[in-house]
A and B are shown apart, each in its own frame.
Chain A
Amino acid sequence: MPVITYRDALGQGLREEMQRDDRVFLMGEEVAVYQGAYKVSKGFLQEFGEMRVVDTPITELGFAGVGVGAAMVGLRPVIEFMTWNFALLAIDQVVNVAAKTLYMSGGQFKMPLVFRGPNGAALQLAAQHSQAWESWLAHIPGLKVVAPGTPYDAKGLIKAAVRDDNPVIVLEGEMLYNTKGEVPDEDYIVPIGKADLKREGDHCSIITHGKMVLVAMQVADTLAKEGINVDVVDLRTVRPMDVEAITASVRKTNRAVLLEEGWEIAGIGAQVVDYIQRECFDDLDAPVVRVHQADVPMPYAKSLEKAAKPDAAKTIAAVKKVMYID
């Protein structure tokens, strides 16, 4: 099987969808002539032309609305935000229009569109460019929210997102674009709403999504050398969440660590904890522990940034805590 980058997996998935359906177009800042700020759309302008690969002015609110309008009348827009940090300018279109029009119109107007772009912290980009938005977006009924952590899932989920008749948020990992993995050449879909058990073990469940999947896999490798075997449950979709996958794992291991990039308060992990206490109250051998970003804006200084971010060491400590080791 070919081994390609997460970036190319996303590009391959999008390209295949644009080839199979002429209603699909890509719009955003620098997607065409510049070939994509992160090169996901490299070669797209040449292949599909300027009507289907559209450079916009720097105007997130405006072009998110263009996507909404085009979707309302039958096109299938893929709207790229250069990063989700910039999408805050467009949040009215995402939350007030894309997510709600089907409901407000009594089912008359579907909203088949994708909002996508990198999410979460990169390296020393400071407070305004290092944020994980999934809990904000997952809060909104009417949206689906996916966060692929591997190249395989990136291709399968972007394709599923484009084909879905609902608005789908695709949170890509800025630090994942260069990571590699096996990705089939052929057409396949990763179903939205299905988690994936990325590693099997009996001692503890690490439940995570997006970029943190990579961290969880490193943690699993490290702990395996110490004789600790963990389940790594990759949610892949944070709305709707695969509660069955969460509960199946926790019922097996009786211990859970929730790992996410975002902040603690009202984070994705808080919701997972709620599902666990509802469904697995009698299965738990220890209180659940959450690993997340420190409850501060992201600092610039390298040392402070490291201290703020969730990482492998903090996750290992959390696993050991729920296992009452040390």
Chain B
Amino acid sequence: MAKKKSDNGATATATADNQKADAARGDADLRKEFLRSMLLQRRFEERCAEAYALGKIGGFCHLYIGQEAVSTGTLSLLRPDDYIITTYRDHGQALARGMSPRAVMAELFGRKDGVSGGKGGSMHLFDKATNFLGGHGIVGGHVPIATGVGFAIKYRGGDQVCICFMGESVVNTGAFHEALNMAGLWKLPVVYIIENNRYGMGTALERASAIHDIYERGAAYNMPRAQCDGQDVFEVRRAVAEAIERARTEKVPTLLEIRTYRFMGHSMSDAVSGTYRSKAELEEHLKRDPIILLRAAMHDAGEIDDAWMAKLDEDIKKEVQDAWDFADQSPEPPLEALWEDVLVDTTSDDVEASKAAASA
């Protein structure tokens, strides 16, 4: 509802806020979907830790546990033709976007049936079918790419949006500054989401950034900005919905700081509490586990009971086991694949054919 200039102005605003909050909460069926999405990510990541310990997943592996409300809340609001780009902590977002757990797990196992044929691995999940533009491994490097996607949307006169996830340590890179400046300058439909999980590897935000309410950096780019609680999926949806609406209809970018917490170490080589945070701090944050919070709210409202929850958990465990089995049975990539996809042998000599191929 639009704000009305009348004596009832304050009331109208309050009503609009309530409506937004209601929309963010969705109905009971939608809330069950949120729970399902978040629990899938959680159980998937737990099995990744196990697979890593068994040597089935190699290299670097960064788990998303604790941050699931951010991915689920944000991606539940997207259209299929919207774009997502993210960092190397990308498993949860890939699943929340609807990528197949089988193909994601097979990618992590480095197998032929992985989303990228086993050539990207944990940090580089890509999926053209869902407009998932990667999994990028250099901190800050993907933020200008999101700006470029926003530029392309504007260039074509479309009404899609691009969601760019990043960790809070990205805000100290030059790439972040350059990318947000251009998006603010050119009014591009990008929602930049800082998943502030408090630590860039082991360095606390307060030890890395001159300001601590980092969404305020949006001021430097003339960009609407906001901060919200990332452990409450409804809060995430409320804040992101507003930013998406602004991008889609007004073509204005937003900088959102979503405050969350990483329950695991930075990567598999980092102990859960690490040397840089206390066990007490971690335990304090575990009390605000986004899955437990949503489950409790739905339980209290009588929308779910223990039996429903147990069934959901059992179903999800089966789904993740199925992904594991699929990945485990998928063959290694054939050796010829080593030489494939370095370059393509196509051109746009025939413009119409090239356009048709690009949109296929």
Contacts and interface: CB of A to CB of B under 8 A. Distances in A.
Nearest to B127: A108
> B120, B150, B174, B359 — which one has the most chain A CB atoms within 10 A of its CB?
B120
B341 interface: yes
B228 interface: no
Interface string A158-192: 00101111100000000000000000000001000
A101 B119 CA distance: 10
A113 to B, nearest CB: 10
Contacts of A71: 148
A64 B182 CA distance: 12
Interface string A34-76: 0000000000000000010000110101111111111111111
Nearest to B112: A106
Interface stretch (A1-9, A20-28, A117-125, A277-285): A20-28
A144 B117 contact: no
B151 interface: yes
B7 interface: no
B179 interface: yes
A73 to B, nearest CB: 5
A109 to B, nearest CB: 6
A142 B339 CA distance: 11
Given A56-B182, A72-B148, A142-B342, A65 B155 contact: no
A97 B131 CA distance: 17
Nearest to B145: A69
Given A102-B341, A107-B340, A70 B134 contact: no
Contacts of A112: 348
B141 interface: yes
Given A165-B344, A166-B344, A21 B359 contact: no
A110 interface: yes
A59 B148 CA distance: 13
A164 B354 CA distance: 11
Contacts of A300: none
Contacts of A73: 83, 131, 133, 149, 152-153
Contacts of A287: none
A164 B343 CA distance: 10
B341 A70 contact: no
A297 interface: no
Interface string B137-160: 110011111111111111110000
Given A61-B144, A61-B175, A66-B151, A104 B116 contact: yes
Given A59-B182, A73-B83, A107-B340, A65 B141 contact: yes
A103 B348 contact: no
A102 B146 CA distance: 17
A93 interface: yes
Given A61-B175, A62-B175, A166-B343, A104 B149 contact: no
- Interface residue tally on A, bucketed by range: 35 or more
A74 B355 CA distance: 8
B287 interface: no
Contacts of B117: 106-107
A65 B145 contact: yes
B212 to A, nearest CB: 25
Contact of B359 (A74, A106, A189): A74
B126 A106 contact: yes
Contacts of B2: none
Contact of B347 (A77, A108, A164): A164
A104 B120 contact: yes
A69 B151 contact: yes
B358 interface: yes
A62 B149 contact: no
Contacts of B189: none
Interface in B104-137: 114-120, 124, 126-128, 131, 133-134, 136-137
A298 B120 CA distance: 40
B144 A69 contact: yes
B149 A69 contact: yes
Given A65-B147, A69-B147, A165-B347, A92 B152 contact: no
Contacts of A109: 126, 128, 133-134
A20 B175 CA distance: 33
Given A57-B185, A93-B144, A105 B152 contact: no
A204 B175 CA distance: 49
B348 A97 contact: no
B29 interface: no
Nearest to A62: B178
A101 B181 CA distance: 25
A64 B127 contact: no
A23 B355 contact: yes
Contact of A70 (B152, B179, B359): B152
Interface in A77-117: 77, 92-93, 96-97, 101-110, 112
B1 interface: no
A75 B348 contact: no
Given A69-B146, A103-B119, 8 more contacts: A63-B182, A65-B145, A67-B148, A69-B144, A72-B133, A74-B152, A102-B341, A165-B347
Interface of A: 20-21, 23, 25, 51, 56-57, 59, 61-77, 92-93, 96-97, 101-110, 112, 141-142, 144, 160, 162-166, 189
Interface of B: 83, 85, 114-120, 124, 126-128, 131, 133-134, 136-138, 141-156, 174-175, 178-179, 181-182, 185, 340-344, 346-349, 351, 354-355, 358-359
24 contacts: A51-B155, A57-B178, A57-B185, A59-B182, A65-B148, A66-B145, A66-B148, A68-B144, A69-B85, A69-B146, A72-B148, A74-B359, A75-B152, A93-B145, A96-B137, A104-B119, A105-B116, A105-B119, A106-B118, A108-B126, A108-B127, A109-B126, A109-B128, A162-B348
The 6 A-B pairs at the shortest CB distance, nearest first, are namely A69-B148, A65-B144, A62-B178, A106-B116, A106-B117, A105-B126
